[in-house]
Structure 1
Amino acid sequence: MPAVPPSVDRPGGRLVVLGGGVIGWSVAWRAALAGWSVDVVDSRPGRGSSWVAGGMLAPLTEGHPGEEALLELGSESLRRWPSFAGDLEAAAGQPCGLSAEGTVVVGLDSGDRAELARTVEYLIAQGRCVEILDDDEVHRLEPGLAPTLTSGLSISQERSVDNRALLAALRSATYRAGVRTVERAVAGLDDALVGDADQVVVAAGIGSPELLGASWSGAGALLVRPVKGEILRLRHRSGAIPVPRHTIRALVHGRSVYLVPRSDGVVVGATQHEAGTDTTVTVGGVRDLLADAAAVLPGLAEFELVEHAAGLRPTSPDGVPFIGRLDDRVVLATGHGRNGVLLAPLTADAVVAELAGTPVAAAKPADPWRFS
């Protein structure tokens, strides 16, 4: 583990954040409040994977056996979300789209329901609170659900956020805090925009390994690979069923689908494919998402399909991000996979603490050196 340089406990130096998504802007905003002079550098700020995210803040329903470290990180970050959102809205002068409603989880067929039962067992074994719903209870929470869905789960502590409202609020808050956003590609850590920075935070998602170059191999040849996810945005139309109140997660014949409410409709997602850097939206992906969503909430057939898009989730080998110091000048905040929005508050707090030489214990599972 590299030593923390003496200069980092003197906030007020120049900090360059490479990456202008939810993670990069969250780090930049918090660092500016801590006294750093911050530049965010990105060729397309706010238009990467953060732009097409579902915005679920759902560490429990995203949890799987073997991913206990990710469950702990997500739960800790979820705990920080209300104060993070409150501070952000005050700083930005606009809402960030946080919803206090929880998650309803359902399964379509007997195999899906058996899988949900295993999920309940796992979460209970991890000491988590899950409410099991019968037929009446699940339709009381979400009347638009298909009549064939006769049971489910409620996880009331989970939340969601409108990812695009969040990006807009972060951009406003960073601007008000004096952060400069530079729309330009960077070749590496020796780029002229980066070269004289006291500290550098790499939050560039799937572009992080290329930016780091040889420095990356020094941390045990860590990898961030792209995982493609397709999403749909549906707009409510007059006469259609109301927009659901809760995030709805469902298993449909073994496939996972989520429906996240927005003020004007629903985000439906997400497929998951290892497809390199291909962001083509496929006919098969759209077909499966629409079919599965309509099987869960039949009234969605009357909504308007207004957008289909694909993003590339920056995913680490074990699903846990890399948050922490790489060397005396570079701090990592990358590899968040499907949980970038959820982990933004914890990541920002951990990076700013790392810059000050006081690492956050809660972020220890995300140590960039854990494989070496």
Structure 2
Amino acid sequence: MHAHTSSDVLVVGGGIIGLVTAWRSAQRGLRTAVADPEPGGGAAQVAAGMLAAVTELHHGEQLLLGLNLESARRYPAFAAELTEASGQDIGYRACGTLAVALDADDRAQLRDLHALQLRSGLDSAWLTGRECRRLEPMLAPGVRGGLRVDGDHQVDPRRLAKALVTACERAGVVFHRGWAERLTVLRDRATGAVLADGTALTAGQVVLAAGSLSGRLAGVPAEVLPPVRPVKGQVLRLTVPPGYAPFLSRTVRAVVRGSHLYLVPRENGELVVGATSEELGWDTTVTAGGVYELLRDAHELVPGVTELRFTETCAGLRPTSPDNAPLLGPTALPGLHLATGHFRNGVLLTPVTGDAMADLLADGALPPEARPFTPRRFPPVRHPPVRQEQSA
């Protein structure tokens, strides 16, 4: 062992979920540390940042809807507080979302989603194809109808992650820029972790927030390993040239050939196009096929997209649980808590996750909105522990 440091809370994983947990914990007066070689990296660098509690609603996920809506409600105040704490703009925009259908089958599916939204007490309005094109003139003439959801907003995840790093530093969070290679367990209690360089970190409580890698930390007893798997997503970034006519004023979503597609316009002229959903394990390769399919479908939805500058392609891994909902709270191993498995809602759930984990760490109990998402709702699973290879 090269060194030994101690804290009240050790967060394993420095993605946005780990960072917000650390920031909120430090604000509650807890001496907090984060172990990650590249804080702010990971899935946040790929995510589009849609805060889409309404348009992301799926059948069977009504329980998750409550948590999503609560986090969306907190976002304006959260964004303002984080901007003040970090001195950085996180790109929060209350611009709304337009979900559209390109053919009769898509229209029927979107009508079904609208009915589910209305049954769930959500605010969305059905528009004709002509009304959709009046809102967004760049849409293809063949758009058959759509849903206008003014309450679904957006944020820039890269700016969000950077601001959280700064806010953590200003709040006194200590960063250990290395991999947590193994959890330390002493007398049937989690007591810290050992980094890849041999540094021993001790803590009164450990939060495992390592994204899709959360189920692969060595030293975690098999019965409390989180059942989290990676789901690959490929994303494109385009740029609207300076002086170009306004392209899109809000996020546009659609199902094209059975695949979900979104276009997220940023105020700086960037347009994020995504995302594939691929069950390919730990592969993060950007493929020609993935890029082609995204551009093809985006062109069918918004033909003018092919005139924009192509600036970046990237792929990331969404941490996914068996029921697509996060794992929040204590495990059966005293001292070890989870904040992972957020799947496609990690950016949206950042405010409510930070608050819930800080309540748990400071007061010993989860708030009511987070209790349905305890890790103990799943039976034990087994993963082969391996050395981590990328940021959470």
Partner of 2:377: 370
Match of 2:167 among 168, 173, 184: 173
Deviation of residue 357 (structure 1)? 1.4
Q: Which residue of 2 aligns with 1:188?
A: 182
Aligned length: 359
Distance 1:194 1:100 in 2: 44
1:348 Cα offset (Å): 0.5
Matched, 1:208 2:208: no
Deviation (angstroms), 1:339 = 0.9
Verify the 8 A CA contact 1:229 1:272 in the aligned structure 2: yes
Letter in 1 for 2:22: A
Contact between 2:39 and 2:165, CA under 8 Å: does it hold in 1? no
Distance in 1 between residues matched to 2:204 and 2:179, nearest whole Å: 20
Stretches of structure 1 lacking an aligned partner (at least 5 in a row): 1-11
Of residues 227, 237, 251 in structure 2, which corresponds to 1:233? 237
Judge conservation of contact 1:206–1:224 (CA < 8 Å) in 2.
yes
Q: Which amino acid aligns with 1:153?
A: L
Whole-angstrom CA distance in 1 between matches of 2:174 and 2:310:
36
Residue in structure 1 matching 2:335, options 310, 314, 329: 329
The CA distance in 2 between the partners of 1:186 and 1:94, in whole Å, is 29
Q: In structure 1, what is the equivalent of residue 203 of structure 2?
A: 197
1:142: which partner in 2?
A: 136
Q: After TM superposition, list the pairs within 5 Å mapping 1:99-110 onto structure 2.
A: 99-110=93-104
Cross-structure match for 1:339: 345
Q: For the residues of structure 1 that align with 2:235 and 2:287, how far apart are their CA atoms?
A: 11
Which residue identity lines up with residue 253 of structure 2 in the other structure? R
Give the letter for the 2:352 counterpart. L
Aligned mates of 1:333, 1:264 — CA distance in 2:
33
Q: Structure 2, unaligned stretches of length 5 or more?
A: 1-5, 185-192, 380-392
Partner of 1:164: 158
TM-score normalized by the length of structure 2:
0.88
Q: Which residue of structure 2 aligns with residue 296 of structure 1?
A: 301
- Tell me, in whole angstroms, the C-alpha distance in 2 between the residues paired with 1:31 and 1:117: 43
Q: Which residue of 1 is the match for residue 13 of structure 2?
A: 19
- 8 Å contact from structure 2 (residues 7, 202) kept in 1: no
SS class of match (1:127): coil
> What secondary structure sits across from 2:237 in the alignment?
strand
CA distance in 2, matches of 1:245, 1:18: 38
CA shift for structure 1 position 44: 2.5
Identity %: 45
Deviation at 1:312, TM superposition (A): 0.6
RMSD between aligned residues: 1.6
| Alpha-carbon spacing, 1:328–1:346, altered in 2? closer, same or farther (3 Å) | same
Give the match for residue 283 of structure 1: 288
Q: Which amino acid aligns with 2:288?
A: V
Determine which of 40, 49, 59 is the counterpart of 2:53.
Answer: 59
Equivalent in the alignment of 1:357: 364
Matched, 1:87 2:93: no
TM-score by length of 1: 0.93
1:203-224 per-residue CA deviation (whole Å, 9 max, x = no partner) reads 0012211226443x334x6410
Match of 1:273 in 2: 278
- 1:187-237 Cα offsets, whole Å, 9 max, x none, are 12123456421111110012211226443x334x64100000000000112
Q: Are the equivalent residues in 1 in contact too, given 2:107–2:144 (CA < 8 A)?
A: no
Contact 2:261/2:297 (8 A) holds in 1: yes
Q: 1:292 to 1:125 in 2, by over 3 A?
A: same
